[in-house]
Structure 1
Amino acid sequence: MDQPRTTVDRLLADASGRRPRADARRNVERLVVAARAAVAEVGVGFSAHEIARRAGVGVGTFYRRIPSLEALLESVLLEVLDEIADVADRAADDPDPWHGLCAFAVAYVRLRAESCGISEALGGACEDLLAQRLEDLRERVRRLVERAQSAGAMRTDIAWQDVPFLFAAAATGGRTIGLQAGGQQWERNLHIVLDGLRAPRPSPLPGTPPA
C-alpha cells in the first residue's frame, strides 16, 4: 500500500482506511497552512492554540483533526525537507555541476533565511523526528559538492562537510553591531561564499552593502 504523499494525507490517514469528509480535509489543510506559516515566522515552538487561531478554527477542531501537536510539526518539517531534497535531486541532474550546486545553494539558503523554524530544524532542533531526512540531505550535499569538485569547478581543498556550515553562515540575521542588513543580504553573503568555493573566476555581487 502506498504511503501518504502529502502532509494533509499523512495526518488524515488512519488504520480504518475511511475517506475523510470534505470539511474535515479542509480543516486539516487550513491547519497545515497555518503551521507552515508559524514555523517560518516563530520557529518550532508554537502551540495548538496558536495554530488554531491562525487557521480560524477552534482548538477543539485542532485536537479532533490532528493526532498531536508533535505530529503536525513533524509532518510540516518533513514536507519542507522533502522539498529541499527534490531541489537537490534536480541540481544533481543539471549537466553543469557548478550551476547545479549554486541552484541548490540559493534555494537552501533562501529557506534558511526566510524560515525561522527550518533554520532551527536544520541546526539540530527536532533532530529525533528528522534524523533520516537529515542523513539523506547530508548525502545529497556530499554528492553535489564532490560532483562540482570532480568537474574542476570547485576547490578540492574544502571538505564537503564545510559546505553546510558555510551555507548556514550566509543566512544572516537582519542586524549586527549596529548595521542594518541590505535587502538582498543573504544573497550577497552567499555569492561571496560561492566565490570562495569556486575554482576560477568570481561573479558580480547582487544588492547593496549593509548600511
Structure 2
Amino acid sequence: MTAVDRLLAREPGPTPRADARRNLERLVVAARSAVAETGVNVTAQEVAQRAGVGKGTFYRRVPSLETLLQVVLEEVLDEAVAAADRALENPDPWRGFTEFAAAYVTLRKESCGVNEALGGAGSCDLERCLGDLRERLRELVGRAQDNGSMRADIPWEDVAFLLAGVATADRTIGLTAAPDQWHRNLRTVLDGLVARP
C-alpha cells in the first residue's frame, strides 16, 4: 500500500478529487526528499514548500507531520519487501541477493532517516513491515547458502547487520566519503559473503 493510500484510508469518506490526490502525492515525495536532505530537523513548512502547496493545504490533506512521516516510513519498508520479493523470483540466488542488497541499502538509509525524524516511534504496521523484511532476508540468505554461492558459516542475522553498515556517514576520522562510497562498501561486504571454490 502506498503512503497516499494509507493517508486516504485514515480518513474514510468520499473519494478525493484528483487535485487533492495529486497534492497528497506531492507531499509524500516532498517528505521523502526533505528527510533525505534535512534529516530530523524537517518541518511541515519545508515539506509544504517542496510540494508547492501552502501550509493550510498541508494540514487539510495530512493530520500532522508525524502522520505523514509514519506512512512514508511504512511505504519505504514496503518497497524494501517488494525488492526482496523480486530478488526471490530471480533463478540465480546470488544474483537475486546482490540485487536486493543494493536496493535495501538505499532504502534503509532513507527509512532510518524517516524513523529518526519520527523519534523512533513505531506503529503496528511498522512491526508487520519489519517482520516481512526479516523473513525475506532469511529466505534470500538461505537460498544463496543452499546453492553454495554464499558462505554457509554466516548467520542470516549477521547479514542484516553487515548490510546496515554499508551506508555510511558523510565523514569519518577527518575523511570525506566518496559520492559512490556505499557502492564501494557494498562490493567489499559482498566479496566477504561470496563462497570461495
Both proteins in one fold, TM over 0.5 = yes
Take 1:136 and 1:77, find their aligned partners in 2: how far apart are those partners?
Answer: 14
Report how far residue 121 of structure 1 moved.
Answer: 5.5
Take 2:132 and 2:112, find their aligned partners in 1: how far apart are those partners?
Answer: 17
- Counterpart residue number, 1:157: 153
Report how far residue 36 of structure 1 moved.
Answer: 1.4
Which range is displaced more, 158-167 or 25-34?
25-34
Take 1:103 and 1:182, find their aligned partners in 2: how far apart are those partners?
Answer: 21
Q: Does 1:15 align with 2:44?
A: no
Take 2:98 and 2:19, find their aligned partners in 1: how far apart are those partners?
Answer: 42
Counterpart of 2:121 in structure 1: which amino acid?
C
Structure number, greater radius of gyration: 1
Take 1:144 and 1:44, find their aligned partners in 2: how far apart are those partners?
Answer: 32
Q: Does 1:141 align with 2:134?
A: no
Take 1:169 and 1:88, find their aligned partners in 2: how far apart are those partners?
Answer: 18
- Counterpart residue number, 2:122: 127
Counterpart of 1:126 in structure 2: which amino acid?
A
The one of 52, 62, 66 aligned to 1:56:
52
Take 1:61 and 1:127, find their aligned partners in 2: how far apart are those partners?
Answer: 26
Aligned residues: 193
- Counterpart residue number, 1:194: 190
Aligned partner of residue 170 in structure 1, secondary structure: coil
Give TM-score, length-normalised by structure 2.
0.88
Report how far residue 171 of structure 1 moved.
Answer: 0.9
- Counterpart residue number, 2:22: 26
Take 2:7 and 2:122, find their aligned partners in 1: how far apart are those partners?
Answer: 20
Take 1:44 and 1:132, find their aligned partners in 2: how far apart are those partners?
Answer: 24
Counterpart of 2:120 in structure 1: which amino acid?
A
Report how far residue 81 of structure 1 moved.
Answer: 1.2
Give the percent of matched residue pairs that are identical in Structure 1 and Structure 2.
60
> Against the structure 1 CA distance between its residues 70 and 122, is the aligned structure 2 distance closer, same or farther, given a 3 Å change threshold?
closer
Aligned partner of residue 15 in structure 2, secondary structure: coil
Aligned partner of residue 43 in structure 1, secondary structure: helix
- Counterpart residue number, 1:207: none
Report how far residue 119 of structure 1 moved.
Answer: 2.6
Which range is displaced more, 176-185 or 138-147?
176-185
Report how far residue 138 of structure 1 moved.
Answer: 0.7
Structural RMSD (CA): 2.1
Contact 1:121 1:127 in 2 (8 A): no
Take 1:79 and 1:25, find their aligned partners in 2: how far apart are those partners?
Answer: 16
Aligned partner of residue 70 in structure 2, secondary structure: helix
Counterpart of 2:17 in structure 1: which amino acid?
R
- Counterpart residue number, 1:208: none
Take 2:19 and 2:182, find their aligned partners in 1: how far apart are those partners?
Answer: 41
Decide which structure has greater helix share. 2
Encode CA deviations 1:123-167: one digit per residue, 9 max, x unaligned. 893334611111111111111011111111111111110011111
Counterpart of 2:160 in structure 1: which amino acid?
P
Encode CA deviations 1:66-93: one digit per residue, 9 max, x unaligned. 1332221111111111111111001111
Stretches of structure 1 lacking an aligned partner (at least 5 in a row): 202-211
Contact 2:77 2:107 in 1 (8 A): no
Q: Stretches of 4+ moved more than 3 A in 1?
A: 120-124, 126-129
Stretches of structure 2 lacking an aligned partner (at least 5 in a row): none
